[in-house]
Amino acid sequence: MSEQSHRAIGFGRGVLVLGAMAVVVGLAALPGLPHPEASAADPDTGAVVVTPVQGPSWLHHLGLQVADTRMGEMGGTGLAPVTSRREPTLGGGAEGGFRGAMHRFLNYFNSDRAKANRAFNATFELTGADLYRLNCRSCHGPDGRGAPPEISSLLDPVRATTVAGIQQQMAAKGRTIPDALAKQLAAQAERDIRDRLRNGGKKMPPFRHLRGDEIEALLGYLGHLAGVPGGDRAGMLVPQSAARVGEHVVKGTCHICHDATGPGGRQAGMMSGLIPSLQSFPHDYSLNAVIHQVESGSSRMMGMMGGGMMGGGGMMGSGSRETMPALPYFTEEEVAAAYFYLSEFPPEP
């Protein structure tokens, strides 16, 4: 068994007191983990279906380089809100919510795979705010303002989904419109947002992995950001699993820049400008290394040195190496969920 197949994992920042600070992961055994109905979850909380990430990164799909766009780097430097960091679960579900599930998963990882797997697939609930952070924040920013003109603000389009919002927007232009028409326009504006999530936009990726109830919870939170009443959707909770959280992080954020499959970290060091594939993370990097990369982004040194230097005297690239923004608003557990999602649901070309 190669040395790469055993890696010590554990959270580096010392924020977490894990019973499993030095869980040794035998990756060779990972693909064999059973995937029972767990991903179909508990009958009374609803199915939490999880699917692998597929295909080229969104930037590759668009033919862009990281330096050409603000997409993926608008998340800001703030940390995850305290509610998410401490206790993402406001409702019922697995003991200890998401954090509890992740800690149980790591604890049992070596000793009891069935228990580890149950913990990874156990259901708990998250808010629309969490879903926004995992799926939208890297482009639209913590407040929804984006980076116009490339990434338009979503605040006005969301305000336009309410009659009051339409009327305000009209009043600002010195016009009034009848309620019935405002209602029609508001309904159309909401359909536009739903279509955009299903099909994407000009530069925005589609979000086909989002379920109906997740979209409702998200719309509730978008209303909150835009300062319009969210109605029944305000504060809505939706069933999730740790595997599902990993899927959101990867599909909503990492896949903007990282291809699902392809060369990995070891080759990336040798080839200037190569962004390692998602598939390579659990094989080529320790969990701590991935947590560190997400927390800090590409090191400043690497950005300044440009391409090639990291390859132990390999090629000296001419173009400067692309850099990754820090994404400190993900918690360590969320990055860990992404890491194990990638090993349990292997990415597809």
- CA–CA distance from 248 to each of 14, 49, 182 (Å)? 25, 12, 34
Measured over the CA atoms of residue 199, residue 200, residue 205 and residue 208, the dihedral's sign is negative
To the nearest 10°, the Cα dihedral for 215, 147, 329, 219? -20
The amino acid at residue 300 is R
Quick check: bond before 149 cis, omega within 30?
yes
Find the residue with minimal CB distance to ligand HEC.
201
**Cα separation of 63 and 28, whole Å?**
35
Beta carbons within 8 Å of 42's beta carbon, 6+ residues apart: 123, 239
* Of residues 118 and 137, the one with the C-beta less far from ligand HEC: 137
Nearer to ligand HEC by C-beta: 58 or 108? 58
E-assigned strand segments in 236-309: 237-240
Query: Measured from the CB of residue 198, what is the shortest distance to ligand HEC in angstroms?
Result: 11
d(Cα 97, Cα 325) in Å, to the nearest integer? 29
Q: How far apart are CA 66 and CA 80, in angstroms?
A: 24
- Report the nearest approach of ligand HEC to the CB of residue 116 (Å): 21
Tell me how far, at minimum, the Cβ of 314 lies from ligand HEC, in Å.
14
Q: Can you give the length of the chain in residues?
A: 349
Positions in the binding site for ligand HEC (CB under 6 A) = 58, 66, 71-73, 135-136, 138-140, 150-152, 154, 157, 193, 196-197, 201-205, 207, 218, 222, 249, 253-254, 256-258, 265, 268, 275-276, 281, 285, 290, 293-294, 298, 302, 322-325, 327, 330, 338
> Which CA distances in Å does 81 have to 56, 92, 281?
31, 20, 26
Between 122 and 193, whose beta carbon lies closer to ligand HEC? 193
Residue 10 or 38 having the CB closest to ligand HEC:
10
Q: Between 181 and 305, whose beta carbon lies closer to ligand HEC?
A: 305
Which CA distances in Å does 138 have to 71, 160, 214, 254? 7, 23, 18, 9
Rounded to whole angstroms, the maximal C-alpha distance in the chain is 73
- Tell me whether residue 205 or residue 239 sits nearer to ligand HEC (CB atom): 205
Beta carbon of residue 184, minimum distance to ligand HEC (angstroms, whole number)? 17
Q: Quote the least distance from Cβ 32 to ligand HEC, whole Å.
A: 24
Cα-only R_g, the chain: 21
Place of tokens 């389009």: 157
Least distance CB 146 / ligand HEC (angstroms): 7
Residue 101 or 160: the one with the smaller Cβ distance to ligand HEC is 160
CA distance 34 to 42: 17
> CA 310, CA 268: separation in Å to the nearest integer?
9
Question: Is the CB of 262 or the CB of 276 nearer to ligand HEC?
Answer: 276
Please identify, using beta-carbon distances, which residue of 235 and 263 lies nearer to ligand HEC.
263
- To ligand HEC, the closest distance from the beta carbon of 221 in angstroms equals 9
| CB distance 56 to 259 below 8 Å | yes
